Structure 1
């Protein structure tokens, strides 16, 4: 995947490859040493079942390596994003 500036990602909608609307990107977790994005911090849609996602307060954490595309939306593979 091409490099993306983190500032271009904020407030983008996160959607799964099956069309499920996951939520809105609120923040990212970055590895300081290498500058790589580790996780996306997403404010989930109210109808989303968040029970299988890692959580931080009212947000879900989605591994950045589950991202398959970034255009108008951030597209993720739900199977890679869930913990179980």
Structure 2
């Protein structure tokens, strides 16, 4: 993926899968301190979303930034790449 500026990663932005499934809302990001690369998105999942195949931390699911395919009005992720 090309460069993504922090202003495009607005918190409370909706996260959707490439198949149109609404995953949840972006709550925070995990960043590598040394290089500054975004590692994971911390997503507050929708109550109807099955989180059983995802890495979890507290009440959030962690989606690897490498699974992100687009950031516009929504953050679009590939569910197959996002699963733990």
Same fold (TM > 0.5):
yes
Cα RMSD of the aligned pairs, angstroms, is 1.0
2:5 aligns with 5
**Which contiguous aligned blocks of 4+ residues in structure 1 show a shift greater than 4 angstroms?**
none
Q: Secondary structure at the match of 1:49?
A: coil
- Normalization by structure 2: what TM-score? 0.93
| Deviations, residues 15-57 of structure 1 (Å, cap 9, x unaligned) | 0000000000000000011100000000000000000000000
Gaps (5+ residues) in structure 1? Answer: none
Task: Please report the TM-score for the alignment, with normalisation by the length of structure 1.
Answer: 0.93
How many residues end up aligned between the 2 structures? 83
